[in-house]
Amino acid sequence: MEYPDLSPYEYYEFPLSMRNIGWLGPSFTPRPPAPDADPRPLRAASRVLSSVMLGRHVCPWCPGETTPGGGNGEYHYYAHDGEVYAAPAMLLHYVEVHGYRPPERFLQALRVPGELPWDDRAERLATLLLDPSEDVLLRTAGIVDLASWKHPRTLDVLLQAAHDPKLDVAGDDIGCALALLPYDVPADDLPELVRWGFDLQRTTDGANP
Ligand SMILES: [Zn+2]
């Protein structure tokens, strides 16, 4: 599927409105990456996939090759100006191998320093996650994204979610999000699947600090 950059994201239901980045298709022409392109800010901002879907996306320009990162899932980027961007797991591959250059507005958003303050987006994801009357798929869609806010409230919300039996299905996501926070987490008290996700993410970070 091909979507124009910055068009409204509609691929699947998500609690926040997002804009598309890098959903490339036939209208894109691959080229060598520009020598002055610096992929480091993008790489640093693309640590963890927000949602991993069933099914694989294969790079249209690398037939027969296994796409790095498995090719499925999405990265979500939370800009300080309130915008949210959604990109396919292959975004880095497109940039580093096929010379795709994301819109300047998106690249600039990645360069804004400092932690995100708790805002409406965080509140929406947190409220939804803890609301037992909401649909479980929608409640769990933004779990990993919540770790974008390095905030004590994120820790509090995720620990509550970890002990909610209705959210067992997303235990690994909750553990992953907890591991992304710069806090001491009482890992020994976590349910088994949450602990598994937590340990897996901390191990990954240890291997790629
Ligand atoms: Zn490729």
Domain end marker among 78, 111, 144: 111
User: Domain for residue 76, yes or no?
Assistant: yes
Q: Which two tokens stand for residue 8?
A: 């409204």
How far is ligand 1, taken at its centre, from the CA of residue 71, in Å? 10
How far is ligand 1, taken at its centre, from the CA of residue 188, in Å? 42
Query: Which pTM was predicted?
Result: 0.92
How far is ligand 1, taken at its centre, from the CA of residue 1, in Å? 15
**Confidence (pLDDT) at 130:** 98
Distance CA 17, CA 197 (A): 27
**Confidence (pLDDT) at 53:** 64
How far is ligand 1, taken at its centre, from the CA of residue 107, in Å? 21
How far is ligand 1, taken at its centre, from the CA of residue 95, in Å? 10
How far is ligand 1, taken at its centre, from the CA of residue 33, in Å? 12
User: Domain for residue 7, yes or no?
Assistant: no
Same domain, 33 and 93: yes
User: Domain for residue 11, yes or no?
Assistant: no
**Confidence (pLDDT) at 70:** 58
**Confidence (pLDDT) at 105:** 97
101 is in which domain, residue-wise? Answer: 19-111
**Confidence (pLDDT) at 71:** 65
What digits encode the pLDDT tens for the residues 94-139? 999 999 999 999 999 999 999 999 999 999 999 999 999 999 999 9
How far is ligand 1, taken at its centre, from the CA of residue 110, in Å? 23
Residues of the chain with confidence (pLDDT) below 50:
none
Same domain, 142 and 183: yes
